Amino acid sequence: MLATRVIMEQGIHVEGINFFTGFCVEGHTHAIRKKDRSKPKRNNALWVAEQLGIKLHIVDVIEPYKNIVINPKHGYGANLNPCLDCKSFMVSKAYEWSKQHGFDFIITGEVMGQRPMSQRKHTMPVVQKESGAGDLLVRPLCAKKLPPTLPEREGWLDREKLYDFSGRGRKPQMALAEKFGFKEYAQPAGGCCFLTDASYSKKLADLWQTRGSREYELDDIMLLKVGRHLRPRPNFKLIISREEGETHFLEGYRKSFTHMRTLSHGGPLALVDGQTSNDDLLLAAQLLARYSQGREADHVDVAIHHYGGNVEQVSVTPLNLHEIPEDWYI
């Protein structure tokens, strides 16, 4: 937002690009859960574009991004976050787009030293080189800390009106925001990618391990964002909704999985992922019963909707909490 405005102040036409990888954390990806419904249900990139009065192009990069997540040349951060590869990838895509649409250069809001992997002094040139953007990549907020780029050398941009921000502190950015009259802005300091989340990364690692290959489809990674995931046996896992919003969301996937609902008591919806025996399904039903309103009952009736359409009704004793080992929770 700041970098864009800095460039617009120089009379330059700017348009935004936002990439959708499938791992993005957005206000209303979470808003399917009740606890998050008080947060605004808006896409921050669109909101920012409207505040700035610029066009925004949202680009689906789900397929090409897979290789970044699966084979990051520079490795992962604390979790399965391939930040440096990701940054180079996005800058390369932005550069490609800018050439196709007749733009002269690209800008990012990076600040040297602000992020531990992709925005360090020695990694910023890596992004410039590996993205192919070279010195057509301008970082207006820390440009004065970097060698002049082509737009600065050619005088398309006045370098003196760019900034020299660095480090993890955000006071200079906040002061600049105030100068521009920005009263509200998207929450800074990351948290915009599920791959930086330890719990999510654990679920993705489990998915790869049990499938025997480091691959995924969009539905796989969307489902990792929702529900309680338990793997009681290596051959299957259960995804159990935690509230009505998640139940509603998982219902969209029920035809692709064997799924279960409690009949005698109110309760969640569970999807069963994996190849299961009858015994596995009975255990799954007991687990589901544990998370239903019949958790203290002697028996809970559960409908098992087999993949393909057959429906079977079973009566099970809910598992006690102490019968659910901690390592079943993914």
Partner 1 sequence: MSEHHLDARNILCPLPVIRTQNAVQELQKGDRLTVVCTDPGALNDIPTWSRINGHKVLDLKNENNLVTITIEVEGLES
Per CB under 8 A, 18 contacts partner 1: yes
CB-nearer residue toward partner 1: 49 or 177: 49
CA distances from 161 to 5, 111, 143 (A): 12, 16, 10
The C-alpha atoms of residue 223 and residue 210 are separated, in whole angstroms, by 16
Per CB under 8 A, 29 contacts partner 1: yes
The C-alpha atoms of residue 52 and residue 55 are separated, in whole angstroms, by 9
CB-nearer residue toward partner 1: 56 or 282: 56
H or E segment at 58? strand 56-60
DSSP string, 236-290: EEEEE-SSHHHHHHHHTTGGGSEEEEESSS---EEEEEE---HHHHHHHHHHHHH
Per CB under 8 A, 222 contacts partner 1: yes
Per CB under 8 A, 135 contacts partner 1: no
Per CB under 8 A, 54 contacts partner 1: yes
Q: Which of 9, 34, 35, 41 binds partner 1 (CB under 8 A)?
A: 41
- Quick note: the x/- pattern for partner 1 over 243-272, rule CB under 8 A, is -----x---x--------------------
| Close Cβ partners of 55 (under 8 Å, ≥ 6 residues apart) | 15, 16, 49
CA nearest to 207, candidates 231, 227, 226: 231
CA nearest to 138, candidates 170, 161, 172: 161
Q: Which of the ranges 21-29, 77-85, 229-237, 295-303 carries the binding residues for partner 1, by CB under 8 A?
A: 21-29
Q: CB–CB of 89/126 below 8 Å?
A: no
CB-nearer residue toward partner 1: 101 or 179: 101
Taking the complex as a whole, the smallest distance from the CB of residue 166 to partner 1 amounts, in Å, to 31
CB-nearer residue toward partner 1: 168 or 248: 248
Q: Which of 73, 101, 121, 168 binds partner 1 (CB under 8 A)?
A: 101
Q: Which of the ranges 1-9, 48-56, 266-274, 316-324 carries the binding residues for partner 1, by CB under 8 A?
A: 48-56
Half-sphere exposure of 186 (CA within 13 A, CB side): 20
Q: How many binding residues for partner 1 (CB under 8 A)?
A: 31
Taking the complex as a whole, the smallest distance from the CB of residue 252 to partner 1 amounts, in Å, to 4
Per CB under 8 A, 93 contacts partner 1: no
How many helices and strands in the chain, by DSSP H and E? 12, 10
The C-alpha atoms of residue 250 and residue 265 are separated, in whole angstroms, by 19
CB-nearer residue toward partner 1: 95 or 163: 95
Which residues are near partner 1 by CB under 8 A? 15, 18, 20, 24, 26-29, 31-32, 40-43, 45-47, 49-50, 53-60, 101, 222, 248, 252
